[in-house]
Structure 1
Amino acid sequence: MTVVITTHYIEEAKEADVIGLMRGGKLLAERPPQQLMSAFNSSNLEEVFLTLSKKQEEADTDIRSTLADTLLDSIMEQEKEPQVIPHIDTISSEQGNRRKFHTSSSQRMRALLIKNFNRISRHLGGLFFIFGFPVLEVVIFFLAIGGDPKGLKLAVVDEELGNFTSCMQYSFFNPTEPILHKDETCDFHGLSCNYLNRINQSKEYYHDVEKAIESVKKGATVGMLHFHRNFSRQLQLRLDDGKDASNTTIEESELGVHLDMSNRQIGFFLEKNLLQAYLDLAQDVMRACNQSTKLAQVPMQVNR
């Protein structure tokens, strides 16, 4: 029983008893693998194939085996039309031992490139995976990092709210802007809500600092803000008293911030936004109190 196998992987054919090498629909040789490699003094069938291909191009005709010649001659006799078909007989093993053919590295590379390109072009899915998929990965990557993080939630402990559960409720009954009196004195009210309204991130209110910090550790929120009960009043005293301000005034006028820095990009993004919101609040307070807004700016001038 004879089993015929066709394959594009030339080295796979080495296990066969007899192989036929074809190029462009032309039969180049039909011999046992070891005989072909011995004839061309080659260690693999790919070099044999390249050598035969080179000779085919030089002769500009078919390189056919004895079997191919016999079949072609029988067809010519049936048609009774004499034809002259030049051919190059397959090189015997003795001739191969006397002469060794070599292919240049550039020709070998060119042949390999053409073979691989033809193989890839037959599989569009593989072509997309090789060229399209990396491009798609790069596009998705830059789209993912191109904008600001969204959907971030902050935990808020605002003791200044008193019995109110959110700044929205507090703002209905209390002012959140400084009040300038006729004697040029200024009273601060509800500055914690004024500050929170400047932050775009969603907020979840807590009554306990420890629970708020725990929500950050569990990943439910990305940061925690803590305002003391007399935040606005103590901030006013801090500005009025200056160097004479007590430790209690300094501590209770501070805004406590706890950020989750496991994702440093998000952490630095929040830190920048919180700082900018505080600077904007300070400038608006100075403006409302008829003071120079430069007093609320960082004493640094950067020229670009």
Structure 2
Amino acid sequence: MGDSGNRQSTSNAVWGRRLYKTYGKGKNKANALAGLNLNVPYGAIYGLLGPSGCGKTTLLRCIVGLLKVDSGSLLAMGDVPGARDHSIPGPMVGYMPQDTSLYNELSIKELLLYYGRVHGMTSEDIVYRTSFLLDFLKLPTRDQLIGCLRIWEHLLEIAQSSQQTTIIITTHYIEEARQADRVGLMRAGRMLDEDKPSNLLDRYNMVSLESIFLYLCHHDLVGNAEDEELMSGQFALESTMSEDSAVNYDASKPLIATESADAGGSNSSIYGTVTFENIPRGRPPPDPCCVFPSLPAFRVIMALVIKNLTIMKRSIGLLFFEFIIPSIQIILFCLCIGRDPHDIKLAVVNNDLGPMGATYLKFLSNTTFKQVLFNSLDHARDSVHQGDAWGVVEIRPEFSEDLMQRFLMGINVSTKVITGSTVYLHLDYTSQQISAVIHARTLESFQNFSRSTLALYGFNTHYSDPPVLTTDPVYGSADSIFTEFMAPGICNSITFFMATGLTTLAFVLEKKEGNYERNLVNGVTPAEVMLSHVITQFLVLLVQVGLLLLCTFTIFQIPLEGNPAAVLFLILIEGLCGMCLGIMISCCCDKETSAMQLSLGLVYPLLLTSGIIWPIQAVPAWLEYISEALPLTIATDALRSIMGRGWGIDHMFVWLGFVISIGWAMFFLMVTAVIGRIKR
């Protein structure tokens, strides 16, 4: 940069030379800034003119440090925007985005208090500035919620309360007029159309008034030199610049950049404004060195956390639902999954000529089975074909006689005797769970029946024992149910996916409403925003996990052999991992619909491949290696070992579950940082 360039850069509040900024790649590459030069003197009011899409928003975002130019030189208030120890972004710049971008759940006082804390202002300064702004802007009571400040509601109340009052609003931001009773669309001194907004949308089959206006302009027969201008966007700004108003640079004076339209609140066209405001005497400016510290600033994080908690407090019903939904899920799981079926309809054909067939049927559980007697096997099988029964128990005529011979003669009986003393099952195998229960319970009943019969006739009851016997379990209980196998994974998955969804939604909504961008301009770093949401969601997570474990171990008595603290710690780590995944998803997506679709799309793949529903030993070998590397797999097995085996954190397998969960959380955060850098 030559001497002339140095002099110009130091004599201007904003100075830019040969600025280039592009979006997209390859054929989709578009130039937002193409060799732009800019000079904004100190103390000037600078009007930035141009139709929609000409690069005004991109230029302002570069000036306030939200974007970096691809090439060229840009200085704002004497330094590169975003440079270390520079107060842009930060307290030196005031930025009004196109949208309102305010937290509707906060009151006027709470909103000003939040931004005062972000900028490190003292309590006295915040009270002073709040009182000044309330009086200067003629705002209502400081406890009024931002979301209730609606000028349109006031206008509608005036118009509807008295039929004598008529209101005409002029604006080039067409969508602003959507709430009017009737709108008229003008062009080149002619009225193109007028009607109720809803009627216009229906008539032209379009979703916005702006689309209708462009359509009408395109089909307007009156041609003039303004056609191209009207189709590309509206000019709505007036520019004034005073060369005599230039002043020397003062680091205590803020730069104010505004994206606005007019007093009517339009956000279609954009004003670029640079002004100075003296900070009141005796009130030192915020320390610019605190804007971009090497580590997140504690005061900023606390301001963000208090803001998040206040917003949560405004939606107490939703917060209560967030607290109890994991408990509802675990209750439904314990009630519906893993327990034995009951009242299974079983067709019974007892053709036994002796008493033993009827005796055996009495050993069948009346809780598990609901026996329906049939006279013939064909009729019984027909009931299964028609879906009235799940299977048929067939006992043949020689059952009692042949069974006694089998007891007495052992291995010396004929095949006919073996066949006659056998109970036959004809099952509907479309439900593997029900057919497995029928098979297991009928076999168990026959074993109990055999012991009873052998004891009745004075034989050794061990003759009925199978050649393979199960001794006392090493871990667990012989009476354990499938619920106990799935419970650790369900606890982990509920916590993981709830944390993912809530964090994703919180981030995406903040970005969508423009509050995230406003925070960045005020010097808040992405790391501080992320940490504040993690802290806030972690407080919610503590309540969720506490209620979830209370239902699991107290109400449903799921066995817990290990340390409860290890269980709690591992589930909380898994929740933090889910939060980090939510942060990554929100960084990838700009709309809540796409973010939630991506979050929901991960549920079943992780649920099915993490050994939660079924052991991973059952999956193909190549998929097993992938499954073991997923964030829920080893953590679920580790939690299962703590609960069922009583292992502690000193056991390598349990310790590995903690390490992998923390590793995935770090990986998600690193990917988020990379994506954020690429997007910027």
Question: TM (normalized to structure 2)?
Answer: 0.29
Residue 195 of structure 1 is matched in structure 2 by: 360
Please give the alpha-carbon distance, in whole angstroms, between the structure 2 residues aligned to 1:105 and 1:56.
Answer: 10
- Within the candidate set 422, 428, 449, 1:254 is matched to 422
- Computing the radius of gyration over CA atoms, which structure comes out larger, 1 or 2? 1
Alignment of 1:99-114 (within 5 A): 102=291, 104=296, 107-114=299-306
Q: CA offset at residue 69 of structure 1?
A: 6.2
Q: Is the 8 A contact 2:451 2:462 kept in 1?
A: yes
Q: CA offset at residue 244 of structure 1?
A: 4.4
Question: Letter of the aligned partner of 1:63 in structure 2?
Answer: R
- Within the candidate set 300, 303, 310, 1:118 is matched to 310
- Within the candidate set 121, 146, 151, 1:57 is matched to 121
Q: CA offset at residue 123 of structure 1?
A: 2.3
Q: CA offset at residue 218 of structure 1?
A: 4.3
Please tell me whether residue 212 in structure 1 is matched to residue 380 in structure 2: yes
Alignment of 1:37-76 (within 5 A): 40=93, 52-55=116-119, 57-58=121-122, 60-61=124-125, 62-63=128-129
Residue 437 of structure 2 is matched in structure 1 by: 269
Q: CA offset at residue 241 of structure 1?
A: 4.6
Please tell me whether residue 150 in structure 1 is matched to residue 336 in structure 2: no
Q: 1:267 to 1:109 in 2, by over 3 A?
A: farther
Q: Is the 8 A contact 1:51 1:102 kept in 2?
A: no
Q: 1:264 to 1:112 in 2, by over 3 A?
A: farther
Residue 298 of structure 1 is matched in structure 2 by: 466
Q: Which moved more, 1:225-234 or 1:204-213?
A: 204-213
Question: Letter of the aligned partner of 1:120 in structure 2?
Answer: M
Residue 618 of structure 2 is matched in structure 1 by: none
Q: 1:277 to 1:68 in 2, by over 3 A?
A: closer
Q: CA offset at residue 57 of structure 1?
A: 2.8
Q: Deviations over 1:119-177 (max 9, x none)?
A: 2222232112212122112122213347543222211111226xxxxxxxxxxxxxxxx
Please tell me whether residue 229 in structure 1 is matched to residue 397 in structure 2: yes
Q: Which moved more, 1:256-265 or 1:271-280?
A: 256-265
Q: CA offset at residue 196 of structure 1?
A: 0.5
Residue 29 of structure 1 is matched in structure 2 by: none
Please give the alpha-carbon distance, in whole angstroms, between the structure 2 residues aligned to 1:255 and 1:64.
Answer: 87
Residue 159 of structure 1 is matched in structure 2 by: 351
Question: Letter of the aligned partner of 2:371 in structure 1?
Answer: K
Please give the alpha-carbon distance, in whole angstroms, between the structure 2 residues aligned to 1:108 and 1:211.
Answer: 78
How many percent of aligned residue pairs carry the same amino acid?
23
Q: Is the 8 A contact 1:216 1:222 kept in 2?
A: yes
Q: Is the 8 A contact 1:65 1:90 kept in 2?
A: no
Q: Is the 8 A contact 1:226 1:255 kept in 2?
A: yes
Q: 1:267 to 1:108 in 2, by over 3 A?
A: farther
Q: Secondary structure at the match of 1:258?
A: strand
Please give the alpha-carbon distance, in whole angstroms, between the structure 2 residues aligned to 1:55 and 1:215.
Answer: 77
Q: CA offset at residue 292 of structure 1?
A: 1.3
Query: Any unmatched runs of 5+ in structure 2?
Result: 1-56, 65-91, 103-110, 139-251, 257-274, 278-286, 473-680
Please give the alpha-carbon distance, in whole angstroms, between the structure 1 residues aligned to 2:330 and 2:415.
Answer: 53
Please give the alpha-carbon distance, in whole angstroms, between the structure 2 residues aligned to 1:220 and 1:267.
Answer: 15
Q: Is the 8 A contact 1:63 1:90 kept in 2?
A: no
Q: Is the 8 A contact 2:391 2:427 kept in 1?
A: yes
Alignment of 1:274-293 (within 5 A): 274-293=442-461
Q: 1:209 to 1:128 in 2, by over 3 A?
A: farther
Q: CA offset at residue 90 of structure 1?
A: 8.7
Q: Deviations over 1:39-81 (max 9, x none)?
A: 62769667x9765443463363232597756689xxxxxxxxx
Q: CA offset at residue 194 of structure 1?
A: 0.3
Please tell me whether residue 136 in structure 1 is matched to residue 136 in structure 2: no
Aligned length: 225
Q: Which one has more relative contact order, counting CA pairs under 8 Å at least 6 apart?
A: 2
